[in-house]
Each structure stands twice: as C-alpha cells, then as structure tokens.
Amino acid sequence: MVRQPLTPEQIAAGRRLGASLRVARAGRSLVEVALAAGISPETLRKIEAGRLPAPAFGTVVCLSQALGIPLEDLAEVWLTDMPDRPALPRPAALALD
C-alpha cells in the first residue's frame, strides 16, 4: 500500500501535537519521557519539533501514558482546525462484539 503525502492541515496538526507534548513534559527531560514511553529520544525530539508530524498511533498512546495525558486530549489537539472534523466516538461505540 502506498502512503499518501500528508496534507498541509495534517502537517500543521502534527506541529500542534508536538508543541502540546513539549508543554506537557515541562519539568521532565526529553530523555526521561522518551524512555518512559518506550521510544528513542530522537523520535520524541522529532515529534516535538514537528519533523515527524504523523507519529504512529502506538507511539502517541505510549506518550499519553508516559505524560499522564488522556488520549482524547491529544486527539483534540490533532483535530483542531482540521476540515470536516469528525466527531470523536464515545467509548461505548468502540466496543468490539
């Protein structure tokens, strides 16, 4: 499967996400948070700088846990200012049968 290039909106969303993560780790070192999330410090550095604007979902989940930020809050950061923004599903809607 060929991966489509990111849109300008997605790149901007990635920059917002990176900035939010940087603010959230205030008082903690980049290395400390990266290791707690199970990623390399260089990966976290790239995410925070906006050079990796679309990190893997698992990476975002691990960062949310390492920083104590609800995943829904990070999703809101990503979705802000996105065109045709979809509504976030309620947890019950995510239940698997």
Calculate ∠ Cα 32-38-43, nearest 5°: 80
Domains of the chain in sequence order: 8-79 (1.10.260.40)
Q: Which pLDDT band holds residue 4 (cuts at 50, 70, 90)?
A: confident
Taking each continuous run of H as one helix and of E as one strand, the counts in the chain are 5, 0
Phi, psi (rounded to 5 degrees) for 28? -115, 145
pLDDT tens, 62-97? 999 999 999 999 999 988 877 775 566 656 655 555
